Amino acid sequence: MLLRFDEVSLAFGSRPLLDHVSLQVDERERVCLVGRNGEGKSSLLRLARGEAQPDEGVVWLQPGARLAHLRQDLDDQSDATVGELIAAGLPEEVAAEPWRAQQQVAEIATRLQLDQDARFSQLSGGWRRRALLARALVCDPDILLLDEPTNHLDIAAIEWLEQALLAYRGALLFVSHDRRFVNRLATRIVELDRGRLFSSPGNYETYVAKKAQLLAAEEQANALFDKKLAQEEVWIRKGVEARRTRNEGRVRALYALREEHRQRRQRQGRIELTAQDAGSSGRLVFEAEHAEVALGGRTIIRDFSTRVMRGDRIGIVGPNGAGKSTLLKLILGELQPTAGSVRLGTKLEVAYYDQQRVQLRLDESVMHNVVERGDHVFVNGVSRHVTGYLRDFLFRPDQLQTPARALSGGERNRLMLARLFAQPANLLVLDEPTNDLDIDTLELLEEFVANFSGTLLLVSHDRAFLDNVITDLLVLDGSGSVQDFVGGYSDWEQYAAERRAAARAAVPAARVESQTSPRVTKPRKLSYKDQRELDALPDRLAALEAERTSLEAAISEPTFYERPPADVQRELQRVSDLATQIDAVYARWAELEALTVG
């Protein structure tokens, strides 16, 4: 046993977040904490870290056990280098020995493919998260705490994080709304609901099945309780009989029932998502022919051709910085191509969810972010008071005059959804809508989007969400190319894996062919430049792999770490760089080969 909560209570004001809860985390367990936004998950992690104290009960950490955490927020960490940032996570006994400290920092940096000399403030969100994870892991912790570790990461970074955490030998206690991430990692799910903890061994799918059974049983028990309370209320109103001495016990029991009913903490309501219907758009929504977008001397999108028809459900995926938002702007007509042509359809009514939430007026109230004038909103031709409409999105009446700036991330997302669904639309555009949403709200949004009758454009890193709502993908790889793929994200994963496997299998044959005879170029739907690049890939890959093999052999020598530290660091960094380059070559090979199909 590494960590234990014994009858722990914590409250903010009159609202209890934790109500005499108990929790135990054992060695090598991977426990995921789930629950609605605002239930107290982050507060529980703060208690585990010792950054807060419970009102009652005890939080116990095994003596001598090392605990590290990866925060949800990403501070700039002033102007520190990645190496300095990682070193800050070393235990004191190691930090006091410079040579040992340098070696441990170099090892974790190599394992996580990090450049120690890079400035943390200049890294992208995904690389910052990787550097912060290195700082947490460098002390070889017995237990690691993670708060929403996948927020704002692209899919490649999430999948890398999954692999890193599966290889981690310690225990995990983490908060996440990414269902596929949770399903892959968790050995136990613990839900925080109305101040109590519900523990379910197994992955997320097992938890969902058990939770449905428990909620059904709770509903039935509450119905029986309410029926008994109603019967006793009828009885007490008879007056004379109730005042008889021999019935005083029954009266006291009724008072106890009333108090129990008052204390019952109702499960928070579900968001009611109803979008305004708009007239149908034209059959064609968008068409591009060999479109190109160049910004600041860099080609963001090149040779892009596709056609989006009414009712299509398109997912847009790719690494952070690959151009997903630029592609959206091109499709919506907000950006003109620098080459090629694009054509927008007719009668488009667009509802746009922006991941940066720039559509929110932060200094305006919650109410005035939905209605600029008056106090009513029209939804599908029906006038509704804004109080009732916002209640559907779990906003209390006392929050209507709260400035949007004062809302949490999850509340701002709900307000964005309220704005979005108050306008008629036949083209729904969602740019990373799942960040900061709890799982219950995310699944409701997913259900709504799946039933939306118009055309959908979705940018998301949530693989389960993509699989459940889209039928086609536009895949960006960061080089400017956009591949049009029919299927969900799991279908794309399988296809890409098969292409990579075929590329790897083709390397020996291609190498022999290049050494024994002139290359015969088959007819391909590739430009001259792309064809030249494809032809050169086998030799380039062979050279990179040969160099990596040679360096790995040198590093495995016992005398390697006796060399000057600068030389050691340079060689370790080169191995990391080679691994990245080799993966990029395989990905590029698969992409170019895919373009020759058909």
Domain presence at residue 265: no
Q: Where are the alpha helices (DSSP H) in 186-239?
A: 204-236
Domain presence at residue 373: yes
Give the whole-angstrom CA distance, residue 328 versus residue 432: 12
Same domain, 578 and 500: yes
Give the whole-angstrom CA distance, residue 161 versus residue 137: 13
> Could you tell me the CATH number of the domain that includes residue 352?
3.40.50.300
- What the block records as the tokens of 26 is 């054992």
Same domain, 32 and 152: yes
Same domain, 513 and 480: no
Domain presence at residue 242: no
Please identify, among 182, 208, 234, the residue that sits at the C-terminal boundary of a domain: 208
Please identify, among 464, 487, 510, the residue that sits at the C-terminal boundary of a domain: 487
Place of tokens 């990403």: 74
Give the whole-angstrom CA distance, residue 374 versus residue 8: 46
Residue 386 is predicted with a pLDDT of 85
Domain presence at residue 525: yes
Domain presence at residue 253: no
Instruction: Please indicate, yes or no, whether the overall pTM of this predicted structure exceeds 0.85.
Output: no
Q: Are strands 171-175 and 143-147 parallel, antiparallel or unpaired?
A: parallel
- Look at residues 480, 505, 491 and name the one whose alpha carbon lies nearest to residue 591: 480
Same domain, 419 and 352: yes
Domain presence at residue 214: no
Same domain, 562 and 465: no
DSSP 524: -
Residue 568, sorted as left (phi over 0), alpha (psi -120 to 50) or beta, turns out to be alpha
Same domain, 472 and 513: no
Same domain, 411 and 315: yes
The helix/strand count (H/E) of the chain reads as 18, 22
Same domain, 398 and 371: yes
Give 513-526 pLDDT, tens digit per residue: 555 545 444 444 56
Place of tokens 């009885």: 235
Instruction: Judge contact between 467 and 488, C-beta under 8 A.
Output: yes
285-to-16, 332, 346, 425 alpha-carbon distances in Å: 50, 9, 7, 13
Domain presence at residue 578: yes
Domain presence at residue 154: yes
> Could you tell me the CATH number of the domain that includes residue 521?
1.10.287.380
Same domain, 520 and 385: no
Same domain, 126 and 202: yes
Please identify, among 487, 518, 552, the residue that sits at the C-terminal boundary of a domain: 487
- The upper half-sphere exposure of residue 120, i.e. CA atoms within 13 Å in the direction of its Cβ, equals 22
Same domain, 312 and 345: yes
Give the whole-angstrom CA distance, residue 527 versus residue 195: 61
Report the number of distinct structural domains present in the chain.
3
Q: List the pLDDT tens digit at each of the 598 positions of the chain.
A: 899 999 999 988 767 889 999 999 999 999 999 988 878 898 999 999 999 999 999 999 999 899 999 865 556 556 889 999 999 888 888 888 888 888 889 888 887 878 899 888 888 767 888 888 889 888 889 999 998 888 877 888 888 888 888 888 899 999 999 999 999 999 999 999 888 998 989 888 888 888 777 777 777 777 787 777 777 666 666 554 544 444 666 656 666 665 665 555 455 555 555 555 556 778 889 999 999 999 888 888 999 999 999 889 999 998 877 888 889 999 988 899 999 999 998 888 888 877 655 578 888 888 888 887 778 877 766 788 888 888 888 888 888 888 888 887 778 888 888 888 777 788 889 888 887 788 888 887 888 788 788 899 999 999 999 988 888 999 998 788 898 888 889 888 888 888 777 777 765 555 455 555 454 444 445 676 777 778 788 778 778 877 877 777 776 565 665 677 667 667 766 776 777 678 777 777 777 776 665 4
> Residue 393: which residues within 8 A CB-CB, separation 6 or more?
271, 272, 414, 415, 417, 418
Same domain, 462 and 509: no
| Partners of 431 in beta bridges | 459
Burial class (CB in 10 A: 0-12, 13-18, 19+), 425: buried
Range of the domain at 303: 276-487
